[in-house]
Amino acid sequence: MNLSAPFIRRPVATLLLSLAILLLGGVSFGLLPVAPLPKMDFPAIVVTANLAGASPQVMASTVATPLERSLGSIAGISEMTSRSSQGSTQIVILFDLNRDVDAAAREVQAAINAARNLLPSGMRSMPVYKKFNPSQAPIMVLSLTSPVLDKSQLYDLASTVIAQKLAQVQGVGQIQIGGSSLPAVRVELEPRLLDQYGIALDEVRTAIADANQDRPKGNVEDASRNWQVQANDQLHKAADYEPLIIRYQNNAAVRLGDVAKVHDSVENRYNNGFYNDERAVLLVINRQPGANIIETVEDIRAQLPGLQAVVPASATLQVAMDRSPVIRATLREAEHSLLIATVLVIMVVFAFLGRWRAALIPALAVPVSLVGTFAAMYLLDFSLNNLSLMALIIATGLVVDDAIVVLENISRHIEAGESPMVAAFKGSREVGFTLLSMNLSLVAVFLSILFMGGIVASLFREFAISLSVAILISMLVSLTLTPMLCARWLKADEGPEREPGRLQRFGSRLQERVLAGYGRSLEWALRHSRLMLVSLLATIVVNVALFIQVPKTFMPEQDTGQLIGFVRGDDGLSFQVMQPKMEVFRRALLQDPSIESVAGFIGGDSGINNAFLVVRLKPISERSLSAQGVIENLRETLPKVPGARLMLMSDQDLQFGGRQGRSSENEYVLLASDLGDLNHWTPIVRDALAALPELTDIDAKEGDGAQQIRLVVDRTTAQQLGVDMAMVTAVLNNAFSQRQISTIYDTLNQYSVVMEINPQFAQYPESLAQIKVITADGARVPLSTFSHWERSLEEDRINHQGQFAAESIGYSLAKDVTQDQANQAIRKAVAELNLPTEVQGILGGTGGQFEKEAQGQPLMIFTALLVVYIVLGILYESYIHPLTILSTLPSAGVGALLAILLTGGQFTLISMLGLFLLIGVVKKNAILMIDLALELERNEHLSPQESIRRACLLRFRPILMTTLAALLGALPLLLSMAEGAEMRRPLGLTIVGGLILSQLLTLYTTPVVYLHLDRLRHRINRWRGVRTDAALDTPL
């Protein structure tokens, strides 16, 4: 059966079919979304709960634990971590990749509702959730600056106007505002004046709360009119609160201004933000899981002109950081590589064929196959990303193979004297099965990736399917368009009789000499077949040795042009002490020639001794160092600041884990059911990891906790005085916690009245002695009457993971250290500590994910080989011939691994993808040889040795052409130096190295293996007492 015959007879239909594929693909290309990587975000939801004034211990036991128990019953949770700090708890829930985040959100809300009765009654609001992953880097940072407005006014604009509008943009998950806090009326009480008038703190709080009310007041009406009743019950500014009467004493009013300083300020004074050299309020925008970065950023930018128009003219809203330009540049460079690869492949075809008309026939297969793939990508909801474009770049060298095989076979018949039409029918029929076996086995390799599950399947799904579609379209083109064009464009007089041109004569002479040299060396290889078999076995052994030796890591380190930084201060440092330390780091960063801008903030939800930074690097063309190189350089040049550390990490498109506030993509997590065991072993493990030369930037809890003042109450004496613990905690809350005692309702937002004692009386522990409580008989007694204070160290944050107490130790890899080396060093160091069974240590983040995937890599390779064997066995109806074809693979593996070792590279998941590609590409050479050898045995009754020898010589040119086409198609990946090159280069290196060595070896080992396995097959058949056809294992 000749599948090409109808298309050869109907040229118009064939051309229109190809044109339709081009048109569909061209339209689809313009509709495809753009992204850095395929959609594979872990669905993540963050639950936040607040209880003002509660310690981390109280938050962990009364808020985090009940919520975790309720949330833990939800199906499909892959990781749940929580962080409890002063007054707040945040729970991060990561779900399996196949979970729908909206459906998960509904279950999270149901779990929160179910836990309602177990939560403290003092919570002002129920826990809320948002759909975003806090470990993912922000997609955009906006800065709001003004030479006129103060920070609280800027924060109010950001919170009330800008954040509300941007939160409505599709794809925005969270907007964190830093650098200040909302405006507030601050009441700073003077303890001595309160003593003088005999006024209690709670009396002041009650007076202010009673004076500022906003409740329904009803209406009055008569028979024809209705009037709304309003009153001046709301106080808005500090000047309105100052004359408030606290009480009458000695026939005189004691007003708030008499005992306190009242002024307009901010809710939380422990905040500060900057953008380069300006004080600024920052809006840090994170996307929802699965949201497209480019589309989300474009929608945000579309809102900015309107937002700038509604803010005061003195305020400037500008983009401090934007992820989209680097992503666009990366994809633009990938598209350039695709065009270069296409041109190189066409040049290879022309160089071998020497005639532009003959070269144009297989060249047309490239655009039709590649452009047609865009239509399939659109239908499958794929995007133009690094991996899908890499698939198309590789496809340029593969899709031309089928057309070359068809063209070569038809040309051979024309040179033998057949007319082009007859040669087209004969040639296409002869190679039909060859094309089928080559492409089905190739597609089987790529599609086997989809059944591996986990990260690999999700990450490489678009790559595998896009490449498979391109290959199948190329097979369709080779069976339809290529033979039709050969029948009409190739001429019989373009044979030896026609006078060739100079270039053609040179190419012909070169090919003849190479073929003659190959023929002589092939004869030698066949005579020394045992030596060739030994070399093949040695290659297999070297493969295993190299795979064990090659440095391994998870993914190539991306250069996204963005660094994320964290400043950690020693526990117990005040906000005032931390600010100048932060300023030292800011100035040092701005002086680096590779850095374009720095934005960050200190305080707020991060804690008074922690800061968050976003560093934008200059474009790659304007700096000499990669992002990781910039970090390593800064580690050496940054000034040493006592009591503070700056940790930087390069933003990656692929992040693992969801722990909040981590300073590195790698972490080692200790878990224990008892907090005491955890606190004992954490510093021991931290010190052991800090001693490892493979690690740097160790980030873990220092010391035994934060410094605290613990008030020890003599309950018996307090009871005698009529003082209970509620009164004690209330007076401390009123004095020291920046207590929000009343709410000011405005048109667009709500603001607070904050009460505390004058900060100058809250600087030392001795301040507690000045605080007095009211006894049962109305007397004012100081706290020191029935209590004393002592210094203590307490947890300033409590972490949970999977409902166990947890502490994470963040770390970065030292220069030239791989993930595998770091993991081995950590395992060895921890093993020497002999952790008790009550404490468990696990690798988290990228290191943990790498360990999971590395364990399955040998199985992945074996599975791919097994799939190829099964497909080839079905196609050839043989157990033996698939082994001959698979014998070509060891040399490709050695070439790929040697290339990685010699260039100082690392074996990553991208390199693993290159090995899968080599499995598909290299075996095509063996199929070309074996398929023709079997045909010669059947039809011309040649001996196995003569048939394989002739097959090797006849297929030498198409094998050389297809290999060079695949090699040059991958060359732009290897040589690329622009944005995104770090992701593409490992794939190009693996393919180029594997193809070069496999081309040198398989041309000799494949015929030898074919002969030896053929002899083995006949021996087995004689032992079985059956006779078989030369091409089949089935008994006749």
Taking only the tens place, the pLDDT of each residue in 265-284 is 888 888 889 999 889 999 99
- What does the pLDDT average to over 1010-1023? 79
pTM of the model: 0.81
- What does the pLDDT average to over 566-595? 87
Which stretch of DSSP H or E encloses residue 1034? none
With a CB cutoff of 8 Å and minimum separation 6, the contacts of 669 are 801, 806, 807, 808, 809, 841, 842, 843, 844
- What does the pLDDT average to over 335-355? 80
What integer best gives the mean pLDDT of the chain? 85
pLDDT-derived band at 112, boundaries 50, 70, 90: very high
Torsion, Cα of 945, 950, 951, 955 (10° steps) = 150
Write down the pLDDT at residue 657.
Answer: 65
- What does the pLDDT average to over 962-985? 83
Phi, psi of 319 (to 5 degrees): -85, 115
Phi, psi of 301 (to 5 degrees): -60, -30
Q: What is the CA radius of gyration of the chain?
A: 37
- What does the pLDDT average to over 848-865? 80
Spell 811-832 as b/e; 16+ CB within 10 A means b.
bbbbeebbbbbbbebbeebbee
Compute the distance between CA of residue 435 and CA of residue 443 in angstroms, rounded to an integer.
12
Q: Which two tokens stand for residue 486?
A: 């050969």
pLDDT digits (tens, 9 = 90+) for 646-702: 888 888 887 776 566 666 788 888 998 888 888 888 888 988 998 999 898 888 776
Compute the distance between CA of residue 187 and CA of residue 202 in angstroms, rounded to an integer.
13
Q: Is the pLDDT of residue 405 over 50?
A: yes
- What does the pLDDT average to over 242-246? 92
Write down the pLDDT at residue 705.
Answer: 63
Compute the distance between CA of residue 933 and CA of residue 936 in angstroms, rounded to an integer.
5
Amino acid sitting at position 118? L
Q: Is the pLDDT of residue 499 over 50?
A: yes
Write down the pLDDT at residue 1036.
Answer: 36
Q: What percent of the chain has pLDDT over 90?
A: 16
| Short-list 907, 232, 964, 985, CA closest to 549 | 907
Residue indicated by tokens 């950590």: 826
Compute the distance between CA of residue 516 and CA of residue 514 in angstroms, rounded to an integer.
5
Q: Is the pLDDT of residue 1006 over 60?
A: yes
Compute the distance between CA of residue 333 and CA of residue 975 in angstroms, rounded to an integer.
12
Compute the distance between CA of residue 281 and CA of residue 376 in angstroms, rounded to an integer.
45
pLDDT digits (tens, 9 = 90+) for 716-745: 888 888 888 888 888 888 888 788 888 888
Q: Is the pLDDT of residue 519 over 70?
A: yes
Write down the pLDDT at residue 1027.
Answer: 61
Amino acid sitting at position 236? H
- What does the pLDDT average to over 560-568? 88
Compute the distance between CA of residue 596 and CA of residue 599 in angstroms, rounded to an integer.
10
**Helix (DSSP H) and strand (DSSP E) numbers for the chain:** 34, 31
Compute the distance between CA of residue 698 and CA of residue 678 in angstroms, rounded to an integer.
18
650 close to 631: Cβ distance less than 8 angstroms: yes
DSSP secondary structure letters along 761-817: GSSSGGGGGG-EEE-TTS-EEEGGGTEEEEEEEE-S-EEEETTEEEEEEEEEEPTT-
- What does the pLDDT average to over 180-193? 89
- What does the pLDDT average to over 444-465? 83
With a CB cutoff of 8 Å and minimum separation 6, the contacts of 1020 are none
Phi, psi of 130 (to 5 degrees): -135, 150
Instruction: Please give the DSSP secondary-structure letter assigned to residue 162.
Output: I
73 close to 111: Cβ distance less than 8 angstroms: yes
Compute the distance between CA of residue 468 and CA of residue 446 in angstroms, rounded to an integer.
7
pLDDT-derived band at 497, boundaries 50, 70, 90: very low
Give the number of C-alpha atoms closer than 13 A to the C-alpha of residue 92, restricted to the C-beta side: 23
Residue indicated by tokens 């297989």: 362
406 close to 377: Cβ distance less than 8 angstroms: no
Write down the pLDDT at residue 106.
Answer: 92
pLDDT digits (tens, 9 = 90+) for 25-56: 999 998 888 888 888 777 889 999 988 767 78
Coil, helix or strand for 834? Answer: coil
Q: Is the pLDDT of residue 431 over 70?
A: yes
Cβ-based neighbour number of residue 617 at 10 Å: 23
932 close to 955: Cβ distance less than 8 angstroms: yes
Instruction: Please give the DSSP secondary-structure letter assigned to residue 180.
Output: S
Coil, helix or strand for 755? Answer: strand
| Short-list 432, 555, 406, CA closest to 489 | 406
Compute the distance between CA of residue 868 and CA of residue 4 in angstroms, rounded to an integer.
26
Higher-scoring residue by pLDDT: 2, 591: 591
pLDDT-derived band at 495, boundaries 50, 70, 90: very low
- What does the pLDDT average to over 309-326? 89
Write down the pLDDT at residue 432.
Answer: 81
pLDDT digits (tens, 9 = 90+) for 162-180: 999 999 999 898 898 988 8
Q: Is the pLDDT of residue 763 over 80?
A: no
pLDDT-derived band at 765, boundaries 50, 70, 90: confident
pLDDT-derived band at 817, boundaries 50, 70, 90: confident
Q: For residue 686, how far is the Cα from the chain centroid? A: 27
Residue indicated by tokens 């130790």: 809
Write down the pLDDT at residue 324.
Answer: 87
Q: Is the pLDDT of residue 837 over 80?
A: yes
Compute the distance between CA of residue 937 and CA of residue 949 in angstroms, rounded to an integer.
12
Structural domains in the chain? 1-39+357-492 (1.20.1640.10), 42-132 (3.30.70.1430), 183-212+235-266+706-794 (3.30.2090.10), 562-651 (3.30.70.1430)
283 close to 145: Cβ distance less than 8 angstroms: no
Q: Is the pLDDT of residue 107 over 90?
A: yes
Write down the pLDDT at residue 493.
Answer: 54
- What does the pLDDT average to over 976-999? 86
- What does the pLDDT average to over 773-802? 80
Q: Is the pLDDT of residue 375 over 90?
A: yes
Q: For residue 431, how far is the Cα from the chain centroid? A: 44
pLDDT digits (tens, 9 = 90+) for 871-893: 888 877 788 888 888 888 888 88
- What does the pLDDT average to over 1006-1021? 82
The CA-atom distances, in angstroms, between 850 and each of 5, 95, 267, 846, 912 are 51, 19, 44, 6, 13
Compute the distance between CA of residue 379 and CA of residue 262 in angstroms, rounded to an integer.
64
Q: Is the pLDDT of residue 119 over 70?
A: yes
